[in-house]
Amino acid sequence: MNSPALALAMLSTVPFIMVLGNSMLIPVLPQIKEALHLTSVQVNLLITLFSIPAGLVIPVAGILADRFGRKAVIIPGLLLYGAGGVVAGLAATLAAQPYPWIVAGRILQGLGAAGTAPIAMALTGDLFSRRERSRALGVLEAANGIGKVLSPIFGSLLALLAWYALFFAFPALCIPAALGIALWVRETHKRGDAPSLSRYKRDLARMWKRQRSWLPVAFLAGAVTLFTLFGTLVYLSDILEDRYRIDGVKKGFVLAIPLLAMSATAYGTGVFLQRRARYLKRLIVAGLLLLGAATALAPFMESRFGLVTVLSVGAVGAGLVLPGLNLLITSAVGPQERGLVTALYGSVRFLGVAAGPPLFGALLKWKILLFGMVAALVLFIGFLALRRIGHATRLRGHNGEMRTLLRKPAPVLLK
C-alpha cells in the first residue's frame, strides 16, 4: 500500500521523535544532577553531547542519503537513536558509575538524530510535487512543533516514575517509526542517481553560486528563527519559576502555549502555500517582523498573560517563516543534491536550537540589551530576505524542470 497520506504520517513521526532528544530531558536535569551528584557542567553536557554530534554529522548523513537512498539512512538513524536511549537507561539502572555510559548513550543518540529529520525532509521533497510539497513540509514542521510542545510535559510525567524512565521512551518510539517507514514509505530516489563525489562537489558549488543571492539568507533565517524562539522560551521558563512560582508539569503546559501557536501556524502556512506559492516571500518577511517585534517587547511585559501572549505572537511569526524556508530549500535543487542541501540546512537549524537556550540563559542579567540585539538581528535578516529572496530565485520542480516560483514582489513590499 503506497498511500501518500500514510507515507506522510510515517515521515512526520521522524521530526516529532527527534525533537524529544533534548526537550524531554530539560525538565529532568535537576533530578539527574541530584541523583548522580553531578556538577552543573556535567549535567549540561548531556545536552551538549547530543547536539554537537548531531549538528556535525548531519551533512555526512545528507551525502549518504543522496548516494545510497533516504530510507537507508533514516531507518538505521532511528534505530541508533533508540539504541542510545537503551544504553543510557540500562547504565542508569545497572552501572556502578553510570554517568560515562549515559554520556556515551547521548552521543549515540546524537549520531542517530543526524540521519533522521533532515533526511525525512529530503524524502518528502522527493515524494511530493511542488504544489503538494508545501503542505507536506508544513505537516513535518507541525509535527516538529507538536514534539516541542509535548516533550517537556512527557519528560515531567515520566520523571514521576523515575528520572531515567525517559531514556527507555526513545526505543519505544523509534522502533515502530522505523518499521512504519520501512513498510509504508515508497522511495523514488534511486541509488544510481547520485554523481561521484568529485562531481558532487562541483555540482554543489555551481548550485551554491547560482543560488548565492538568497540561499545563505535562507539558512541564516532558519537558524536565527529557532535560536530566538528557544532562547525566549528559556526566558519564559525562568520567569514562570522565579517570578510566578510555576514549576513542574504546570510549567510545561504554559511553555506549550507558544509552541502550539507555532506548530498550528506552520501547518496552516504549509496548506496556504500549496496553492498560493507567490505569497511565500511575504510570509517569510512578515514572520520575521512579528518575531523581531515580539522579542523586542518581551522584557517589558510584567504580567504573566502579557508575556505569554507576546511570545506566542513571536511563535506565530516563526510558524510563518519555517514552512516557507523548507519549501524554498527543498525545491532549490534536484533530487541528486537534495539530501545534502537539506542536511546542511538541518545542521544549521539544529545548531541554532542548541545555541539559543545556553546563550539566553547566560545573558539574561542584561535582558533588555540582549533582547534588543536579538530583535535587531531578526529584523535585519527580514530586511535581507526582502531584498534577496525575490523574482530572480529559480526553483526546480518535482519533475526536474526549472520553474520560477517567486515573482517580482508587489510594490507595497518594497516601500
CATH of residue 37:
1.20.1250.20
Whole-angstrom distance, CA of residue 64 vs CA of residue 68: 6
Report H helices in 335-393.
Answer: 335-363, 367-388
How many angstroms from the chain centroid is the CA of residue 158? Answer: 23
- Give the Cα separation of 227 and 371 in Å (integer): 12
Domain presence at residue 43: yes
DSSP 8-state symbol, 95: -
- pLDDT for the residue 334: 66
Partnered with residue 200 across adjacent β-strands are: none
CA dist 80 and 110 (Å) reads 9
Q: Whole-angstrom Cα distance, residue 237 to residue 30? A: 14
**Rg of the chain in Å (alpha carbons):** 21
Q: What is the pLDDT of residue 291?
A: 97
Count how many domains the chain has: 1
Tens digits of residue pLDDT in 330-344: 776 666 666 667 777
Q: Determine, yes or no, domain membership for 98.
A: yes
Residue 188 counted as domain residue: no
Residue 28 lies in a domain: yes
H/E element, 216: helix 215-242
Tell me if 303 is assigned to some domain: yes
The pLDDT, as a whole number, for residue 109 is 95
Residue numbers in the chain where pLDDT is lower than 70: 1-2, 130, 189-197, 200, 203, 332-340, 390-415
Q: Is residue 119, in this structure, part of any structural domain at all? A: yes
Phi and psi (nearest 5°) for 264?
Answer: -65, -40
Assigned domain for 190 exists:
no
In a domain, 189, yes or no: no
Q: How far is CA 247 from CA 27, 100, 254, 357, in A?
A: 9, 29, 10, 18
What is the torsion angle, in degrees rounded to the nearest 10, for the CA atoms of residue 284, residue 332, residue 224 and residue 42?
140
Write out the residue range of the structural domain in which residue 361 sits. 4-181+195-414
> How far apart are alpha carbons 76 and 322 in whole angstroms?
27
**Residue 178, C-alpha cell as written in the block:** 522505523
Q: Whole-prediction pTM value?
A: 0.75
- So what's the pLDDT on residue 398? 40
Which pLDDT value is given to residue 289? Answer: 96
Write the CB contacts of 9 (distance below 8 Å, at least 6 apart in sequence): none
